[in-house]
Structure 1
Amino acid sequence: MTFVQLIECRTNRPAEMDRLLDRWVTQTKGKRAATHTVVGKDRSDASHVVEIVEFPSYEEAMRNSNRPETDQVLNEMLALCEGMPTFTDLDVVRDERVPAGTAETARRFFETIAAPGPLVPLDGLITEDYHDHDPVESRDTIGMDAMRRKLEIWRQAFDFSFVIEDQIAQGDRVCTRWLWTGVQKAPFMGVPNTGRQVTMTGTTIHRLAGGKLAESWLQYDRVGLLAQLDALDALAN
């Protein structure tokens, strides 16, 4: 069940509060389970600030609350507030929106899988039965654990990043056109390590369910990637 937390406080230091939230977003990039955040200021009382944070579930919100970055930002927020903030926990029992966060959720997926360091848990981002359709592979990748194994193959072979060039969202689906840039650092599917910087274009269509990514259809320039690695012979394997 979708969960929303309502945070209300009073502050006469709105610019500092805004910078604090910006820093928090940067520090938790690729880690936060929140799917949507709105910050509003009371029109009749400029010191009254309300933040609305949406999570896929109460459990995801609690995991987010237990992160050390969350404790740090809360302590800093208290120093900027006049009195104690109030927190209201809401289970969403009705939501009439056409999903509006699909593009942002897909964007967060690409940021997460390209982030340096160990791959973070994906349970706040994709469903347990996530279904990935990849035309290059003989079988679809089904399940969160299988998807993690697939991602680790790429992450172990390349340091890479994505540039999101275009996104179109409609209903529960979002199409993302991306540019991938990577530096090979280890053998990749039988291709020896070249140490080269390579690029690849691709398009992914995601379907969302319950605020998470549930299914994907992928097209990418594998031939172009292998050509840059002088490994076109790998296509015959």
Structure 2
Amino acid sequence: MTFVQLIECRTDRFEEMNRLIDAWVEQTKGKRRATHDLVGRDRSDGSHFVELVEFPSYEDAMRNSNLPETDRILGEMVALCDEMPVFTDLDVVRDEQLYADAVRRFFDTLSDAGELPPLNDLINEGCHSHDPVNPQDTIGLDAIRREYRMWRDAFDFTFTLEDLIAQGERACARWTWKATHKGEFLGIAPTGRQVTMTGMTLFRFGPDAKIAETWWQQDQLGLMDQLGALDALER
């Protein structure tokens, strides 16, 4: 079970505290069990800091605590605090990856039959979309929706998410796209062919928790080959 240690302290010497944390990260490289370390400052009290350190389990946290580097850094941290830090040990009983869920809803929405919805609950109005297939970035929700409609007019398709990783403000999906070619696509008349394409999309989320930027990489050449667009070049 994932374990989180919450450490609360009061100090006016945060820059020194920050350097201590950097030193701990450097000195415990290859030995520490912690997987994530987050420090927050209380907006209503600038001397109140909260640190959350995540471990795969309570046992891993205890092994981490027994490192000589951890013990030494802890002593120096206490010396920087106005009073003794408060430690709270937490077993994680729920861990929602909200950005990963947003990515799943994004791909499901693109695949749904019928009219394409506004997407303003998922995508920021000023979103930037980077796709090597396009000579220029697609900027703005309206322009991005037009591009999605072009794909939906040309194909009936579904996405299968093979891998999905979320970290910080970014998420990355590796996907397989399966489609039926039903409409004109890049000058190619509908063929009725069943086609498959693999690719990856990196998402950056903005402060409003909506998609603010995307980077697409896909096997466009393989798709064109399946549609017969390369046949003339091979003759």
- Shorter-chain TM-score bucket reads 0.5 to 0.7
- Report the aligned-residue RMSD: 1.8
Q: What is the alpha-carbon distance in structure 2 between the residues aligned to residue 233 and residue 189 of structure 1?
A: 15
Q: Which has the higher contact order (CA 8 A, sep 6+)?
A: 1
Q: What is the alpha-carbon distance in structure 1 between the residues aligned to residue 130 and residue 184 of structure 2?
A: 24
Partner of 1:15: none
User: Is the Cα–Cα contact under 8 Å of residues 99 and 172 in structure 1 kept in the other structure?
Assistant: no
User: Is the Cα–Cα contact under 8 Å of residues 191 and 234 in structure 1 kept in the other structure?
Assistant: no
Q: Which of 94, 97, 102 is matched with 2:99 structurally?
A: 102
Q: Does structure 1 residue 215 correspond to structure 2 residue 227? A: no
1:234–1:167 Cα change, 3 Å:
farther
Q: Which of 176, 185, 188 is matched with 1:188 structurally?
A: 185
Q: What is the alpha-carbon distance in structure 1 between the residues aligned to residue 168 and residue 189 of structure 2?
A: 43
Amino acid in the other structure paired with 1:149: R
User: Is the Cα–Cα contact under 8 Å of residues 111 and 162 in structure 1 kept in the other structure?
Assistant: yes
Q: What is the alpha-carbon distance in structure 2 between the residues aligned to residue 193 and residue 122 of structure 1?
A: 27
User: Is the Cα–Cα contact under 8 Å of residues 205 and 211 in structure 2 kept in the other structure?
Assistant: yes
Moved >6 Å (runs of 4+): none
Taking structure 2 as the reference length, the TM-score comes to 0.56
Amino acid in the other structure paired with 1:220: Q
Q: What is the alpha-carbon distance in structure 2 between the residues aligned to residue 204 and residue 107 of structure 1?
A: 12
Ranges in structure 2 where 5+ consecutive residues have no aligned partner: 1-94
Q: What is the alpha-carbon distance in structure 1 between the residues aligned to residue 164 and residue 220 of structure 2?
A: 21
Q: Does structure 1 residue 168 correspond to structure 2 residue 165? A: yes
Taking structure 1 as the reference length, the TM-score comes to 0.56
- Give per-residue Cα distances to partners, 1:149-178, cap 9 Å, x unaligned: 000110000000000000111100000000
User: Is the Cα–Cα contact under 8 Å of residues 127 and 139 in structure 2 kept in the other structure?
Assistant: yes
Partner of 2:20: none
- 1:99 deviates by 8.6
Query: Is the partner of 2:148 in helix, strand or coil?
Result: helix
- 1:187 deviates by 1.0
- 1:233 deviates by 7.0
1:99–1:217 Cα change, 3 Å:
farther
Task: Give percent identity, aligned residues only.
Answer: 53
- 1:107 deviates by 1.1
Amino acid in the other structure paired with 1:203: M
Partner of 2:116: 119
Q: What is the alpha-carbon distance in structure 2 between the residues aligned to residue 234 and residue 190 of structure 1?
A: 14
Amino acid in the other structure paired with 2:202: I
Q: What is the alpha-carbon distance in structure 2 between the residues aligned to residue 156 and residue 222 of structure 1?
A: 17
User: Is the Cα–Cα contact under 8 Å of residues 190 and 234 in structure 1 kept in the other structure?
Assistant: no
Larger Rg: 2
1:233–1:208 Cα change, 3 Å:
farther
Partner of 1:81: none
Partner of 2:134: 137
Query: Is the partner of 1:106 in helix, strand or coil?
Result: helix
Ranges in structure 1 where 5+ consecutive residues have no aligned partner: 1-97
1:102–1:224 Cα change, 3 Å:
same
Q: What is the alpha-carbon distance in structure 1 between the residues aligned to residue 232 and residue 136 of structure 2?
A: 18
